[in-house]
Amino acid sequence: MTKTAAASPYGFRYIGTKRRAKEHARFVTGHGNYAADVTLPGLKHVALAASPHASAKILAIRTDVARAMPGVHYVLTGEEFCSATDSLPIGVDAPKVTRWALARDRVRYAGEWVAAVVADSRALAEDAAELVEVEYEALPHVTDAEQAMAPGSALVHPAHGSNVVLHRDFIWGPVEDQFAKAEHHMRFRAIWNRNATVPIETFAVMAQWQPGTEILDIWASIQMPKYPDQTAKALRLPGNAVRVHYDVDVGGSYGVKRGIKHTVLVGFLAKRLGMPVRLVEDRLENMRGGDMHGPDRSFDIDAAFDGDGTIRALRIRAIDNVGAYAGRAPFQLGKPVSAICGPYKIPAIAYEPISVLTNKTPQEAVRGFGQAPTNFAIERTIDRIAGFLTMDPIALRQKNLIQHDQFPYTIPSGSTYDSGDYHAVLDKALAAIDYPALVERRDQARRAGLLAGIGIATCLEPSGGNSAFEPLLNPKNETTTWMDSCLVRIDLSGAITGIMGTSSSGQGHETLVSTVVGEILQRDPAQIRVIHADSLSALPSNSPVGSRMAIMLGGAAAGAARKIKETLLAIAAHNFECAKDDLDYRDGNVNLKGVPSKILSWDQLVEIAHRKFHAMPPDVEPGLQEKFTWQVPTGGGLPTPDGRIQIYPCYAFETHIVYVEIDSDTATPTIKRYVCGHDCGVMINPDIVHGMTYGGIAHGIGAALYEQFTYDDNGQLTSGTFMDYLIPSAREIPAITIVDHCTPSPLTTFGQKGSGEAGYLGAPAAVANAINDALAPRNVEINALPISHLAIWDALAGRNSR
């Protein structure tokens, strides 16, 4: 029973058609294989003793009682661990801000791991962890970034000499001049409080040391570039002594499944004890000590503009509270440089990113890598300018959006946007929501005494991650490639296998690779298998981060498939004694043009390649397999002295239109309508793109209204469970309409752009704008997320709740 698939809107055979995702069947039938499903004989379990203090000296740790418990195999403390392993990498130039999985001498946040217990079961390990006695001397702590920057503040890492780990002043374009010429200036502060992606599956890792081969095998729920390399380096092992098994499913991530500290800890224990060891975070460990919080940022914005709505320049100061350690997280101030003026023609930008250490849980990458907060700040700016000028916020956007005929468009900070038709997407979204009718509905609701508002956001999703913000923010880092690869092989039976070199965390890479390879080779993607190599047999990959895999893995898979196709054509040309140009390739069979009898079928060609060397052309390798490793398009450059650099290659666009009503007596907001217009170029699998976008919007609504890692005055996390960290459920998320548009990217194989961060990059801004439109008749405003009931009530009552 086959259903005829709808035709591809782009004229492809498989790309863009509605097809079942390859991996979803195993997820919905309960056949996923997650890190905690993998087990080994004699497996031992880890639990952690965590610091109750936000900041304290460790005076003594007594482990003998815990160690003596039956079933307990080891209690590891920082004393031994930090001597035997190296610090985890520090992204910015702050070499004294070292970081290990276990604290030594000093704890820097509540929940920081102090000791690890290995026992026969997780429950026993938890029992023993309670018996680890730690003597602390409490030290002053600081959780507020601006207090941490002030002279005399408690220092999180005294050896670093300050709490600031990154502070730059970028001036791109004639900022002073534009401010001098502008008719109006406007300043305000926007605050994005801490949230994250909080996956159902917490971080899980299992390690086993093989003394015979001297290989450390690792199974982990990982989404992280350079993970095997960093693990090996911290464990002082050669890179080829760590084998990461990428064929485990990952139960959610969108950035946060980094787990490097967990892995080094478990790897060390497995090797030290000669036993397989597993750590599966519980929810509290994940929320408090899993180092998975996202950006925590305040923006001071100064905008220069004219009375006709022309935006001349922006000054943006972004202070980010990075928490107690600085791994890769400060770079989340860097990615937004790639789209620092949003989709607008703003000729001059000053950007002052500051990354500050505090006694909060360390940050990790979260969906968008800093772009969602920046988009929120920019979009609040646009609405505030519209309010200042009493101009329609849509008209203001239409005036300042880059026009379709201006692409490729280079922004002041040095990135060139590849393509786009922002006005068309905005128009489509306005039509889909019937904007004039929506305005009438809002106005009627207002006349009936309700608070009602419409919010718009027009935002970019930089995609194709090349991490060029690393050399921009750390001159000692000269990384200029961020390649990805694919190996395609055809076996003797003629079956096709695509081999990728990283794990997937829900992005549907098996569907991606099979669709692309099927497209090139004209073979049914349903019959193409895609596997995840382990790190010792994998080709180079930089993992699915930065909305890059449709572009990078898609491009690599297409490149390898094209090489296979060329080989098949070469075999046929040799056997027909003709030129390749004289041949037709159809469905994997090759025939001489105009001579139907002269045909070599797929099976025959495969058999020649595998068995009949005598029928092979000279200089063609037997066996049918090809690899392709691709550098990120437009990547490879270092920043100019004034800090200009092409960061990501492709720029997807999204516009959100939201209608909100607020019950003013109870301060309860309800989202009544939601339309998202989305252009990520050619969608290889529209269902996967739409799924990620729906999820991203839900995630963004969470950031806008519900989710926050809150801390009390003692530096304790007060939202460490799902009682207090509020993830919106199906009851809070409205029906969402997505309207597609396609402006192909000229830089990619099929015109695709990235989409993994879609929705989340614009939803918080749009919801915040809608709430503020609703509050406008009362002359109050909220510029801090999340906008809780309490914040709305306080604003309506004229109080400042924050």
- Asked if residue 787 binds other proteins (CB under 8 A), the reply is no
How far apart (Å, rounded) are the C-alpha atoms in residues 218 and 248? 10
Closer to other proteins by Cβ: residue 280 or 592: 280
* SS3 assignment, position 321: strand
Closer to other proteins by Cβ: residue 126 or 687: 126
Q: Do β-strands 529-532 and 496-500 pair in parallel, antiparallel, or remain unpaired?
A: parallel
Backbone angles phi, psi at 651, to 5 degrees: -130, 105
Closer to other proteins by Cβ: residue 97 or 129: 129
How far apart (Å, rounded) are the C-alpha atoms in residues 16 and 609? 32
How far apart (Å, rounded) are the C-alpha atoms in residues 129 and 72? 10
- Asked if residue 422 binds other proteins (CB under 8 A), the reply is no
The residue from 79, 80, 120, 126 that contacts other proteins (CB under 8 A) is 126
Q: Which stretch binds other proteins (CB under 8 A): 102-110, 212-220, 420-428, 720-728?
A: 720-728
**Cβ neighbours, 10 Å, residue 579:** 9
The number of CA neighbours under 13 Å toward the Cβ of 86 is 13
Q: Which stretch binds other proteins (CB under 8 A): 14-22, 123-131, 472-480, 552-560?
A: 123-131
Closer to other proteins by Cβ: residue 416 or 716: 716
Closer to other proteins by Cβ: residue 39 or 718: 718
x/- binding map, residues 264-303, to other proteins, per CB under 8 A? ------------------xxx-------------------
Question: To the nearest whole angstrom, how small is the minimum distance from the Cβ of residue 124 to other proteins?
Answer: 9
How far apart (Å, rounded) are the C-alpha atoms in residues 368 and 255? 8
612-671 residues near other proteins, rule: CB under 8 A:
665-668
Q: Where are the alpha helices (DSSP H) in 305-392?
A: 371-389
Name residue 581's amino acid.
D
Closer to other proteins by Cβ: residue 388 or 793: 793
**Radius of gyration (Cα) for the chain, nearest Å?**
27
Closer to other proteins by Cβ: residue 81 or 709: 709
- Asked if residue 719 binds other proteins (CB under 8 A), the reply is yes
The residue from 64, 721, 746, 802 that contacts other proteins (CB under 8 A) is 721
- Asked if residue 203 binds other proteins (CB under 8 A), the reply is no
Question: To the nearest whole angstrom, how small is the minimum distance from the Cβ of residue 131 to other proteins?
Answer: 11
How far apart (Å, rounded) are the C-alpha atoms in residues 454 and 698? 18
Size of the site for other proteins (CB under 8 A): 31
Closer to other proteins by Cβ: residue 210 or 710: 710
- Asked if residue 710 binds other proteins (CB under 8 A), the reply is yes
Residue 332 DSSP class:
G
Question: To the nearest whole angstrom, how small is the minimum distance from the Cβ of residue 743 to other proteins?
Answer: 37
Instruction: Look up tokens 């992204």; give the residue.
Output: 91
Question: To the nearest whole angstrom, how small is the minimum distance from the Cβ of residue 761 to other proteins?
Answer: 23
State both tokens at 491: 């076996």
Q: Which stretch binds other proteins (CB under 8 A): 30-38, 59-67, 574-582, 722-730?
A: 722-730
Closer to other proteins by Cβ: residue 122 or 489: 122
- Asked if residue 728 binds other proteins (CB under 8 A), the reply is yes
DSSP lists the bridge partners of residue 453 as 660
What does the CA dihedral 722, 724, 730, 731 come to, rounded to 10 degrees?
140
- Asked if residue 439 binds other proteins (CB under 8 A), the reply is no
Report the 3 state secondary structure along 138-184: ECCCCCCHHHHHCCCCCCCCHHHCCCEEEECCEEECCHHHHHHHCCE
- Asked if residue 120 binds other proteins (CB under 8 A), the reply is no
- Asked if residue 144 binds other proteins (CB under 8 A), the reply is no
Question: To the nearest whole angstrom, how small is the minimum distance from the Cβ of residue 139 to other proteins?
Answer: 25
Question: Containing H/E element for 444?
Answer: helix 435-447
The residue from 291, 452, 788, 795 that contacts other proteins (CB under 8 A) is 788
Closer to other proteins by Cβ: residue 182 or 279: 279
Closer to other proteins by Cβ: residue 437 or 448: 448
Cis peptide before 408 (omega within 30 of 0): yes
Question: To the nearest whole angstrom, how small is the minimum distance from the Cβ of residue 802 to other proteins?
Answer: 12
The residue from 120, 229, 607, 732 that contacts other proteins (CB under 8 A) is 732
> DSSP string of 296-314?
-EEEEEEEEE-TTS-EEEE
Find all residues with CB under 8 Å of 175, minimum gap 6, and list them: 313, 315, 348, 349, 350
Question: To the nearest whole angstrom, how small is the minimum distance from the Cβ of residue 778 to other proteins?
Answer: 16
* SS3 assignment, position 477: coil
Question: To the nearest whole angstrom, how small is the minimum distance from the Cβ of residue 705 to other proteins?
Answer: 8
Question: To the nearest whole angstrom, how small is the minimum distance from the Cβ of residue 287 to other proteins?
Answer: 11
CB 360 within 8 A of CB 148: no
Q: Which stretch binds other proteins (CB under 8 A): 206-214, 475-483, 644-652, 719-727?
A: 719-727
Question: To the nearest whole angstrom, how small is the minimum distance from the Cβ of residue 50 to other proteins?
Answer: 13
Closer to other proteins by Cβ: residue 164 or 796: 796
Question: To the nearest whole angstrom, how small is the minimum distance from the Cβ of residue 711 to other proteins?
Answer: 10
State both tokens at 719: 């939202």
Q: Which stretch binds other proteins (CB under 8 A): 203-211, 414-422, 518-526, 790-798?
A: 790-798
State both tokens at 749: 């194989």
Question: To the nearest whole angstrom, how small is the minimum distance from the Cβ of residue 797 to other proteins?
Answer: 8
- Asked if residue 476 binds other proteins (CB under 8 A), the reply is no
DSSP lists the bridge partners of residue 277 as 44, 207
How far apart (Å, rounded) are the C-alpha atoms in residues 760 and 738? 14
State both tokens at 750: 């099929």
How far apart (Å, rounded) are the C-alpha atoms in residues 452 and 669? 9
Cis peptide before 786 (omega within 30 of 0): yes
User: Helix 371-389 and helix 763-775: axis angle, to 10°?
Assistant: 30
CB 260 within 8 A of CB 227: yes
Give the residues lining the site for other proteins (CB under 8 A): 121-123, 126-127, 130, 282-284, 665-668, 706, 710, 718-719, 721, 723-724, 726, 728-729, 731-732, 788-790, 793-794, 801
